[in-house]
Structure 1
Amino acid sequence: MPTSQDSQKPNTAAETKNDNADTNLSKQPSASRLTVDSLIDAQVNFIQQWLHNQAEPLAMEAWQWFGAQPLSKYITCDHLQQLMKDWLLNQPMTEVMRTDIRDILHTIIYHPVNDNVPLSELVDDAQVETLANYIGSHEQQRNILIHTLVGNETFADLLTQTLYHAINDFMESTLDKAGGVGKLMKLGRSSFEKATNRNLDEKLQTYLHRNIKDLTRKAEANAQEHLSNEEVARLMVMGWERIKDQPISELQTYLSDEPGNSSIDHIEASIQQSYDRLRLSPYLHSLVSASIDTWYANHQSDTMATIAASLHIDEAAMKQCSTTLLPIVYDALETPWLTAHIREMLAAFYAQPAIKEGLAHGHD
């Protein structure tokens, strides 16, 4: 790699070009050869050619210098806090980004390759078994889940209404087909309601609800007693065994892709709403601030190169990156705006009184 000393010397092409420029100047009359404009023209050409030839080694030397600097020298914890809040949390996601997310999700979910790839390609059997054993080993959480699903009032009410409608439909259809017996049963029902001042439907629902609540408690106790840790894990693994060979495209059956009713649009919109609500909440701001404080405390003494290495960015990666970006640098060096800036800088240099006076003495 060229050293800093080598970087001061333009290569053969640059020397040839600038030698030609010097030769052309030497052929001009003495007065014009020493004009400021001619000097500026020659220097602009030299600077652009020199930067063009030295762009790659300069980029690597810049990286080596930057990588040796400690993080705390240029970036404070407050800088990071402000960056995260002003740039990330305080700014909503743009509609362009949201559209890109929806389009990319649609491409991934509905890609034809999903028809030929099983679900087991996404999740390994060992991962499922580990997850099943982990869930099964938490007995208290499992019992809470069973109680939530089986032993709660909502489940009992739902089951009561389901059974009531089933019994009522059966009775109505049976009485209509029973002829005289059916009429007699309807008369008995009417007499019962008059004697007790209660509606039979209400009485039936009360009876069902009271007994079903008792049944759900028994069902909950039975489930908690017989669904051991091993049984829960085994059921989860068995469930995975039944679906793991299905293609990934099977997930599409649970989604809608109709215009105006796209599941992807609904999912993205829901995530966006949650994100917009959370990003402005003091709760999330507190967690982000604490996370940044923790990260900065762990890395404030590290060099930039050490931090970059944790992201697999090393000198080889930077060399590859600089090589990829060199065409942009070359094009930028040849742009009129850079030429104009270099010319303006040199004109300001030669406009200094001391330089003007020195050039004037040079003509004497």
Structure 2
Amino acid sequence: MSSSELISALRDAHKTHLTQQLQNPDHWQTLMSQASASLGDTPIGKLVDSESLSQVVEQWVVEANSAQGLQDVIVQTTEAVLQAAENDDATVGELLSEAHFEAVLEKSLQLKALREKAIHAGMNHPLVSEMVSEMLYTGIKNFLLEENALAKLPGVSSMMKIGRKSVVGKAMGGMEESIRGYLQKNIRETLRTGEQWLNKQLTNERIEQLARDGYRRVAPLKPADYLAQIPNGTVKDLVEQGCQIGDESARLDYTRRLISVGIKAAVDALCEKTLADILSGMQISEDKIREFTAPALAKGASILVEQGVLEPFITWSLDDFYESEACKKALESVNS
């Protein structure tokens, strides 16, 4: 057998062997076990170059200029998930247990300074100013008209007695601008009073009472009942807007800086941890991961073989060696 024939036979046998291995769950089990043994107690920080990883992600963000290509996939996926959620009988109480709710509430109550800032910002928003001003004006107008307050003024009551009730309406109309002007001029003081009242009322005890009462009301409710009220086309519109916002934010230096800092911080945090440490913290073992991962990988390889994708790839990767000068020289040295 010539060297070229031997090389061809070895390559074909290697391809067949590798193709069969990749479809065998036991092979994946062994492969993952060997990888785990090789890593041993090596901290992840020594296996990952944070700088290189950051550069790769940053370049990906820069070069992948649009999320539009995945828009249809995101829409279809989201709609399928929402459809399933609409048909699910799970309640809010099942999704957020009372114990978890209490833990979140406890942390929220510690944010008093943030709460006061939020109240201040809300009460000083122009929309709130306009709303409060309009509410006060409407209340004053209704009091004067519906409670006949103007009719009690000297001179007005006599007019009403002789059937001239329209005088009251006209008088109110003439006062409209002056009342609105007064309210607008003094609205800041009114809102400041409202802010002080809210801060005084929203004590931790009061918030606890309101929050627990709200939780007990919504705990038996089903998210499905509310999801069913989402208008058709909402998901598509939101995904379209989300993709556009994502495209714009990806081009910002601000985004890339945050990604870089985030990656470095993540690697630094993992620097002294081993894979075993992380899995232990996640309350799962390597054996358990291999148990459900190996069959899935083997099944995936079988599908790739059925679709005619895996074998050409294996052939290409093996040809890189079997057609190389290094392989030919190795065989020649053996034959000689």
TM-score (norm 2): 0.68
1:43 aligned residue (10, 13, 18): 10
The 5 A counterparts of 1:248-267 are 248-252=223-227, 255-258=229-232, 262-267=233-238
1:118 aligns with 2:85: no
Write the distance in 2 (CA, Å) between the matches of 1:114 and 1:354.
65
Q: Which runs of 5+ in 2 are unaligned?
A: 151-159
Partner residue in 2 for 1:181 = 164
* SS of aligned partner of 1:101: helix
1:134 aligns with 2:107: yes
Aligned-pair distance for 1:158? 2.0
The 5 A counterparts of 1:225-304 are 225-252=200-227, 255-258=229-232, 262-300=233-271
* SS of aligned partner of 1:257: coil
Aligned-pair distance for 1:339? 5.5
Write the distance in 2 (CA, Å) between the matches of 1:187 and 1:46.
103
Partner residue in 1 for 2:286 = 314
The 5 A counterparts of 1:61-76 are 63-64=35-36, 67-68=39-40, 75-76=48-49
Aligned-pair distance for 1:159? 2.5
Deviations 1:20-65 (A, max 9, x none): xxxxxxxxxxxxxx44555445434543455467662874576357
* SS of aligned partner of 1:181: coil
Give 1:136's aligned amino acid.
Answer: L
The 5 A counterparts of 1:51-62 are 51=18, 56=27, 59=31
Give 2:35's aligned amino acid.
Answer: W
Change (3 A) 1:210 1:100: same
Change (3 A) 1:271 1:40: closer
Aligned-pair distance for 1:95? 3.0
Write the distance in 1 (CA, Å) between the matches of 2:79 and 2:330.
68
Answer yes or no: is the 8 Å Cα contact 2:15–2:311 preserved in 1.
no
Aligned-pair distance for 1:236? 1.4
- Which range moved further: 301-310 or 159-168? 301-310
Write the distance in 2 (CA, Å) between the matches of 1:289 and 1:42.
49
Change (3 A) 1:146 1:96: same
Superposed CA RMSD in Å reads 4.6
Deviations 1:219-249 (A, max 9, x none): 3333322332111121111112112211112
Write the distance in 1 (CA, Å) between the matches of 2:217 and 2:235.
26
Identity, % of aligned pairs? 17
* SS of aligned partner of 1:86: helix
- Which range moved further: 316-325 or 117-126? 316-325
* SS of aligned partner of 1:110: helix
Aligned-pair distance for 1:160? 2.2
Write the distance in 2 (CA, Å) between the matches of 1:151 and 1:45.
77
Write the distance in 1 (CA, Å) between the matches of 2:254 and 2:36.
40
Change (3 A) 1:104 1:221: same
Write the distance in 2 (CA, Å) between the matches of 1:348 and 1:256.
61
Answer yes or no: is the 8 Å Cα contact 2:92–2:218 preserved in 1.
yes
Q: Which runs of 5+ in 1 are unaligned?
A: 1-33, 191-198
1:98 aligns with 2:81: no
Q: Which has the higher contact order (CA 8 A, sep 6+)?
A: 2
Aligned-pair distance for 1:118? 1.4
Answer yes or no: is the 8 Å Cα contact 1:66–1:304 preserved in 2.
no
* SS of aligned partner of 1:129: helix
1:201 aligns with 2:183: no
Partner residue in 2 for 1:109 = 82
Change (3 A) 1:63 1:213: closer
Partner residue in 2 for 1:224 = 199
Give 1:181's aligned amino acid.
Answer: R
1:86 aligns with 2:59: yes
Give 1:43's aligned amino acid.
Answer: L
Answer yes or no: is the 8 Å Cα contact 1:40–1:343 preserved in 2.
no
* SS of aligned partner of 2:257: helix
Write the distance in 2 (CA, Å) between the matches of 1:247 and 1:354.
70
Change (3 A) 1:168 1:83: same
Write the distance in 2 (CA, Å) between the matches of 1:320 and 1:184.
85
Aligned-pair distance for 1:204? 2.1
Change (3 A) 1:50 1:206: closer
Write the distance in 1 (CA, Å) between the matches of 2:106 and 2:131.
32
Write the distance in 1 (CA, Å) between the matches of 2:191 and 2:204.
21
Answer yes or no: is the 8 Å Cα contact 1:164–1:205 preserved in 2.
yes
- Which range moved further: 160-169 or 81-90? 160-169
Write the distance in 2 (CA, Å) between the matches of 1:281 and 1:353.
53
Give 1:138's aligned amino acid.
Answer: L
Answer yes or no: is the 8 Å Cα contact 1:150–1:220 preserved in 2.
yes
2:118 aligned residue (145, 163, 174): 145
* SS of aligned partner of 2:164: helix
